[in-house]
Amino acid sequence: MASAGTIKAMSQPTSSTLSIADLRKSYERAELNEDASQADPLKQFDQWLKEAIAAEVPEPNAMTLATVASNLRPSTRIVLIKGYDEHGITWFTNYDSRKGHELAGNPYAALQFHWVELERVVRIEGVVEKVSAEESDTYFNSRPLDSRIGAWASPQSEVISGRSVLVANAAKYGAKFLLQPPRPPHWGGYRLMPDNWQFWQGRKSRLHDRLRYTLQGDGGWLRERLAP
Ligand SMILES: Cc1cc2nc3c(=O)[nH]c(=O)nc-3n(C[C@H](O)[C@H](O)[C@H](O)COP(=O)(O)O)c2cc1C
């Protein structure tokens, strides 16, 4: 029996069950073509995100963020999109985290959404900047109280001696700030300003649709089809 704090081991595959190398599915839900897609990638993204939300896919707002450290090693983690418009795509985090340090040294980053049930992926690349202090304050103050205290309690990405550190920090900052924690100076938003978007729609026989949008000097977008 699984003890508290552990999860049950998954049953072991037998010789009659599939190996992971045999796991595959055919993508047949939809198509993406030049005629039906938007000329502006932001509009295409808006349409697909709204469709993902309407389809009730799990965590449609979760995106993978890739950054590159000064030693040129890439790393990824998931963050939540909190806004998007013609200025870029916004998320919030700890500026002293690993991703924060990597973005301080190299502002180029990539984002990826995978909406499994819709057989869709969006990839976005560009340069990242911090959002204004006012924008970070506004979002911070809209968060639930425990999340605001949590921003103080967690020295994100640092090694801690145990979970008790977080619990003690949360109690300490909860008592200090009561119902009005200010935004920590090390916490706020980033905005990625896209210069490259890719939209992937799974298709039958691995002949998937891929449309890439590349920012042009005049501010327009070049739309091209990529081989899958
Ligand atoms: C669904 C999901 C959403 C998350 N959203 C955020 C977020 O918006 N901001 C954040 O800092 N971390 C978020 N995290 C945690 C990050 O994935 C990551 O563990 C953390 O930011 C530390 O990353 P780093 O050490 O690479 O900086 C989220 C994790 C998951 C699974």
Nearest atom, ligand 1, residue 62 CA:
1
Range 28-45 average pLDDT: 96
The pLDDT value given to residue 9: 55
74 lines ligand 1 (CB under 6 A): no
- The residues that are catalytic are 206
Phi, psi of 215 (to 5 degrees): -65, 135
Nearest atom, ligand 1, residue 80 CA:
8
Domains of the chain (ranges; CATH) run 29-136+185-225 (2.30.110.10)
User: Would the pLDDT of 7 be above 90?
Assistant: no
Residue 13: band (very low, low, confident or very high) from pLDDT cuts 50, 70, 90 = low
85 lines ligand 1 (CB under 6 A): no
The pLDDT value given to residue 60: 98
Say if CB 166 and CB 151 are below 8 A apart. Answer: no
User: Would the pLDDT of 5 be above 60?
Assistant: no
Q: What is the pLDDT of residues 212-226, one digit of tens each?
A: 999 999 999 999 999
Q: How do the residues of the chain divide into helix, strand and coil, expressed in percent and rounded to 5?
A: 30, 30, 40
Q: Treating both helix axes as pointing N-terminal to C-terminal, what angle do 133-142 and 145-153 enclose, rounded to 10 degrees?
A: 120
Q: Is 127 exposed, middle or buried (0-12, 13-18, 19+ CB in 10 A)?
A: middle
Q: What is the pLDDT of residues 165-205, one digit of tens each?
A: 999 999 999 999 999 999 999 999 999 999 999 999 999 99
115 lines ligand 1 (CB under 6 A): no
Q: What is the pLDDT of residues 97-126, one digit of tens each?
A: 999 999 999 999 999 999 999 999 999 999
CA of 116 to the centre of ligand 1 (A): 20
Q: Whose CA is nearest to atom 3 of ligand 1?
A: 79
Share of the chain above pLDDT 70, in %: 93
| pTM > 0.85: yes or no | yes
